[in-house]
Amino acid sequence: MPSDEKKQFEVLLKPCLKHAGFSKKAATWYRCTENTIQVVNLQGSQWSKIFFINLGVYLRSLGSSKQPAEYDCHIRTRLSQIVRNRYRLSELLDAHSVDFRAIDRSDLPTILVMHALPWLEKCSTKEGCAEEIAARRCMVRKNVQDAWVQI
């Protein structure tokens, strides 16, 4: 069962992701493109009240899943790997405060729109994916390079 904090993060993120065309299942949002499924996942730490936003791109030519788990995506990263101000993101995703609402987290959807969504779009193209791989800003499954040849 999701924690109260996780539910509150989901409520905070849902409008911007819905507006961007994502559909939601549990703590994961999905958006289909012609060749990919873009994934945004909210993950809570099992040891603390710190949360992570995981991003993934699933290449449809390499699988048949309609709603892949983020860890099954062919190209993956965490939002913290692609933002400039990791410290601010960490503050926003840390739910240790006594009252979750005591911290203004309204920047979080903006950060998502400014960084996560462009990264997902970029990695949904062969050229963008290659650039992110070269810059080592993502984890990649071995067969990804071959898949782009088929697209």
Residue 84, SS3?
coil
Among 27-36, 53-62, 68-77, 123-132, name the one with the lowest average pLDDT: 123-132
CA distance 74 to 64: 13
Looking at residue 1, its amino acid is M
Compute φ and ψ for 83, nearest 5 degrees: -90, 155
Each residue's pLDDT tens digit, 47-61: 878 899 999 999 998
Number of domains into which the chain is organized: 1
- Looking at residue 41, its pLDDT comes to 98
- Please list the residues that pair with 42 across neighbouring strands: 53
Residue 21: which region, alpha, beta or left (left: phi > 0; alpha: psi -120 to 50)?
left
CA distance 87 to 44: 18
Residue 113, SS3?
helix
Least Cα distance to 92 among 100, 150, 84 occurs for 100
**Domain range spanning residue 89?**
4-150
CA distance 114 to 26: 23
- Looking at residue 151, its pLDDT comes to 43
| Model confidence at 13: pLDDT above 80 | yes
- Looking at residue 146, its pLDDT comes to 56
Each residue's pLDDT tens digit, 92-120: 888 876 566 677 788 999 999 999 999 99
